[in-house]
Amino acid sequence: MICHFCKKSFESNNLVRKYCNHSCYWNAKLGSKRQSKRTKSFVCAMCRKVFVRYFAHLKRKGEGKYCSVICVGKANAKYRSGKNHWNWKGGISPRILNSVQYKEWRRKVFERDKYICVECGYNKGRILQADHIKSWKNFPKLRFRVNNGRTLCKPCHIKTPTWGYHRKVT
């Protein structure tokens, strides 16, 4: 058999088949009048490249704005970070969990409590957490005081009023 698009010969058990592969099939369809009525050309808002989308694929508002996932990622980095992010607070980070000072405080709390949960005494593999007895937010001067910390396993930590961010204990 001969492909109707690329004119190469190919073997097939199906006598109805007109194209040698899916690529030739879709390339042939793109040029048809029927198919051109179903598509729309767009200009990518990020890289300014012209691209085509089928109307059936434009289901949500804003689709057809970017040509690829890479351009969507670049746009998100540009328009949804820093001052443009909904949770921007002027460049001040409320927690310093990766700082040397915090890691040192956490280690000292664990060592003082001998890596055992002070509530239930569990020490056999659960992930231990260093809990602030007086909250991080309301007592900034006590953040790195070892006597304001305690070692808890996660189930015990969830029960405390200082667990999470504005979560209510049920």
- Whether the pLDDT of residue 94 is over 60: the answer is no
Most confident of 34-43, 66-75, 83-92, 118-127: 66-75
- DSSP H helices in the chain: 22-30, 33-36, 69-79, 100-112, 154-158
What are 20-56's pLDDT values in tens digits?
Answer: 988 788 777 776 655 556 777 889 999 999 888 777 6
pLDDT of residue 108: 95
Mean pLDDT (the chain) is 81
Mean pLDDT calculated for residue range 117-128? 83
Q: CA 96, 148, 135: angle at the middle one, nearest 5?
A: 60
